[in-house]
Amino acid sequence: MSDHPGGTPREHAAGASRENAADASRENAVASRENVTDASTAGDTAADTDVDRLRAPPTARSVPELLRFGVINLDKPAGPSSHQVSAWVRDLINETLAAIDPEGPPIAGVAHAGTLDPKVTGCLPTLTGTATRAAQVFLAGRKEYVSALELHGPAPGDLPEVIAEFEGPIYQKPPRKSAVSRRLRVRRIHRLDLLERDDRRALLRISCESGTYVRKLCHDIGLAAGVGAHMGHLRRTATDPFDDRDLHTLQELTDALVWAADGDETFLREIVRPAEAAFVHLPSVTIAPSAARAVATGAPVYAPGVIDVSEPAAGVSGAVGDGDADGDAGNHEGAEENPLVTCYTPDDVAVCLGRLVGHPDADSGVVVELERVLL
């Protein structure tokens, strides 16, 4: 008698084979459904993360967007260092963002336009949030100062002529207390005006290239005058493209942020401007939105994506090649072979800083090599 419960061994083997095939078919079907579900979920996730990185036009930004990509023309007071002032601005902005946009990120920091010594006052343009990537834009323009020249003896009769000799390119070696290498270098004095003179004191207005040491300039003028001199009070009155006609104090910024948190944004929008305001002294390249999205991923600007190229607005210095106080390094005299430009979308959103390396009217090839992506 057979040990199998009915049928031959061959019949049992065939049945087992059919059952295994059926089980495998069911498992493959389940796996197939799971794979489709996983693929669908992955597609949804990809769609969720494929966010358009182009920000809103400057005039359409909310207060949190403005604070995360803005610029403030700050009136630095005497006493604190530029770095301390920047830290206060960062903390004030983050306190406000925590109150009005708790789900959004804080800003990592701010960047100012050239360090001013603690005793020096005046124009300290400050970029906030993502705009700090563009801090180099302040190196392309001119600086202007008003300085007291403290003479060590009676002023010579030819003092105006002596001062006029310092207009143009001059040699400078940074002071011993400076934070940069003490090597001889050339800086350009664009204009040097004697505003007032009273006994042993003179008041100067200096328009100069970024990286000029006004303290050293005053010392050298004193030597040339034959009586010796040193720098007294110093105030920065302009850093392209900003000047002292619309400066705002830390106290004004504090008040504006408090009012904004209470729902009144008017004063804050006067003080914190879209970061694009810091780029108007640079040549601009308008590019198509599709090209801007490619730039956001690190691609250069190719010729087919270029719409237009413009020079800086009339009356704004810092066109290609233009060229602190006691001071930051900057560009030198003469037109640059590959000038720094700002790329914008057609609705005036700043996309990147880059170097113009190709002809904008070309049919192909790279027109702008990236230096900083601003999205």
Say how far apart CA 109 and CA 93 lie, in whole Å: 10
Q: Is 50 a catalytic residue?
A: no
> Is 68 a residue whose pLDDT tops 70?
yes
Does the predicted TM-score (pTM) go above 0.75? yes
Which residue out of 38, 44, 91, 117 is catalytically annotated? Answer: 117
Partners of 151 in beta bridges: 229
Tokens found for residue 244: 């002292």
Question: What is the per-residue pLDDT for 181?
Answer: 79
pLDDT of 333 strictly over 90: no
Q: Which of 69-73, 326-330, 333-337 has the lowest mean pLDDT?
A: 326-330
pLDDT per position as a tens digit, 232-265: 999 999 999 999 999 999 999 999 999 999 999 9
Own/partner long-range contacts of 355-363 (Cβ < 8 Å, ≥24 apart): 356/283, 356/285, 356/309, 358/303, 359/303, 360/285, 360/303, 360/306, 360/308, 360/309, 361/303, 362/303, 363/303, 363/304
pLDDT in tens, 196-214: 999 899 999 999 998 899 9
Burial (Cβ within 10 Å: 0-12, 13-18, ≥19) of residue 6: exposed
Average pLDDT (91-114) is 96
Task: Provide the sign of the torsion angle of the four alpha carbons 181, 183, 186, 187, taken in this order.
Answer: positive
Is the predicted pLDDT of residue 172 greater than 90, yes or no?
Answer: yes
How confident is residue 70, by pLDDT bands cut at 50, 70 and 90? very high
Report the C-alpha gap between 296 and 44 in whole angstroms. 22
d(CA 312, CA 149) in angstroms, rounded, equals 34
Q: What angle do CA 340, 287, 283 make, to 5 degrees?
A: 30
Q: pLDDT-derived band of residue 156, with 50, 70 and 90 as boundaries?
A: very high
Contact 260, 100 (CB under 8 A): yes
Pairing type for strands 142-151 and 168-172 reads unpaired
Q: 107-120 pLDDT, tens per residue?
A: 999 999 888 999 99
Q: What pLDDT does residue 315 have?
A: 52
Q: Which two tokens stand for residue 263?
A: 């729902």
Sorted by sequence, the CB contacts under 8 Å of residue 102 that are 6+ apart come out as none
Neighbouring CB atoms inside 10 A of 290's CB total: 10
Of 42 and 288, more confident:
288
Residues 6+ apart with CB under 8 A from 218: 147, 149, 150, 204, 229, 230, 231
Per-residue pLDDT reduced to its tens digit, 130-139: 999 999 998 8
Hey, how many other C-beta atoms are within 10 angstroms of the C-beta on 325?
25
